[in-house]
Amino acid sequence: MTSTESLAARDAVHQWHPYTQHAIEREPLAVVRASGAELELADGRVLIDAISSWWTSLHGHGEPRLIDAMTQQAQRLDHVLFAGATHEPAVALGEELLAVTPPGLNRIFFSDNGSTAIEVALKMAFQRHVLEGHEARRVFVGLEGSYHGDTFGAMAVGDPDPFFAPFAPLLFEVRRTKPCASALESVLDELGPRAAGVLLEPLVQGAGGMRMHDADFLRAARRMTRARGLPLIADEVMTGFGRTGALFACGKAGIEPDLMCLAKGLTGGLLPMAATLATESYYEAFLSEDRGRAFFHGHSFTGHPIGCAVARASLALALENDVPSRLDAIGARIESRVRAGLEGSPQARDLRRTGGIVAFDLVDPAGGHAGYLAARTPALRRRAADRGVLLRPLGNVVYAMPPACLGPEQADQIADAMLDLADPR
Ligand SMILES: Cc1ncc(COP(=O)(O)O)c(C=O)c1O
């Protein structure tokens, strides 16, 4: 047995992987090491991590500044509860992050991952309505094809197709529209006093297929929600920290959300950590002599000192290295090579890019299922791995979102692997 086989065999005994149909997807990549943009496998192969390990690795793997921040903080203060206690890493991270996020946001509430950041935002929005006597405001509005995570609130606001259909009977009511100002206006008008707020992934909707919309729509959504006294909740879990070529998609679009969710790149991808940012008016709405009007939410690891220390180091590095511009340049290079290679190809359509995110849709010659559950997706992943690149097409959507440390040759290798997937052979 090679070490790869033995790890895969042992994995098959006890492990249950996320988003994996184990009956047909039997061969996980056995990864032994990661450095920069590369993953080293147990069988000696090296793959370029073209999707930043589910969009988390911002600078690249094994970034020394982040590892230093982690080890130094672990030696000083490993963890302490965040109710009734505080510490320097959390306080400083709040100061530093709120200095670079859209104006108006002035409060930070920590949690553990993107889904919990969304739960926090939904609960803040709804509890505020209740506190202000608007209990009827309980229907959130989202976008078609949106994805906000896998916990119940996040599933409810996400598009049920195809991930959440089995849970539909348990999910609260949500209305969905296309990213189009008039469509959003009609839904908000129709809901009237039942509308709770608008939640969206600004500029790029990730898991729904790297769908891109323009900033005008976001500005219209901001105007409409403000005019109706409704919160605009920006899910920047994926788009945050430079992915769109600006530090935050909301900043790029020039909008100021009431609530904003961050995770993934918050720690540069090193540790699980999330934050929900809120305006001062949100915070003030919960202030009272009555303890029962507090925001009742918290996790064991809320405000984890090591996560906060790493997030501070990651933000400092993102600013020093101008990560948004780097990602933008990487995206432009991949896009131009893919565009040249796809010239006249009937196999691909709608090549698109926002910052460091490049995507196109495959045309399935057999006319098979085009969505996330497309039968050929596992084969496409294997084909990319054979070319030394880790890609995970979202159904028929081939995309790249690499880390900022990516070199030009690696960018070209990613582009070539993407092109290979569009080759019908
Ligand atoms: C836009 C968006 N929101 C929320 C989430 C959920 O984040 P997590 O997987 O950390 O729970 C994701 C994850 O991909 C995401 O892309």
- Best probe residue, ligand 1, of 54, 115, 164, 199 (max atoms within 8 Å of C-beta): 115
Can you give the pLDDT at residue 273? 98
User: Catalytic amino acids?
Assistant: 19, 147, 235, 264
Each residue of 388-423: pLDDT tens digit?
999 999 999 999 999 999 999 999 999 999 999 999
Peptide bond into 162 cis (omega under 30): yes
Distance of CA 198 to the CA centre of its chain: 18
- Best probe residue, ligand 1, of 205, 237, 271, 357 (max atoms within 8 Å of C-beta): 237
Map out the domains of the chain with their CATH numbers.
Answer: 3-59+362-419 (3.90.1150.10), 64-320 (3.40.640.10)
Query: Quick one: average pLDDT of 304-320?
Result: 98
Q: Whose CA is nearest to atom 7 of ligand 1?
A: 114
SS3 149: coil
Residues with CB under 6 A from ligand 1: 113-115, 118, 147-149, 201, 206-207, 235, 237-238, 263
Each residue of 341-390: pLDDT tens digit?
999 999 999 999 999 999 999 997 666 666 666 778 888 999 999 999 99
Q: Whose CA is nearest to atom 16 of ligand 1?
A: 238
Going by the DSSP 8-state scheme, the letter that residue 294 receives in this structure is: S
- Best probe residue, ligand 1, of 264, 270, 357 (max atoms within 8 Å of C-beta): 264
Atom of ligand 1 nearest to the CA of 115: 11
d(CA 114, CA 126): 19
Judged against a pLDDT cut of 60, whether residue 3 lies above it is answered with: no
Closest CA to 202 of 42, 354, 402, 358: 354
Atom of ligand 1 nearest to the CA of 154: 4
d(CA 389, CA 260): 32
Q: pTM to 2 decimals?
A: 0.97
Closest CA to 414 of 399, 425, 396, 395: 399
Kindly give the distance from the C-alpha atom of residue 114 to the centroid of ligand 1, in angstroms, as a whole number.
Answer: 5
Kindly give the distance from the C-alpha atom of residue 241 to the centroid of ligand 1, in angstroms, as a whole number.
Answer: 14
Can you give the pLDDT at residue 326? 98
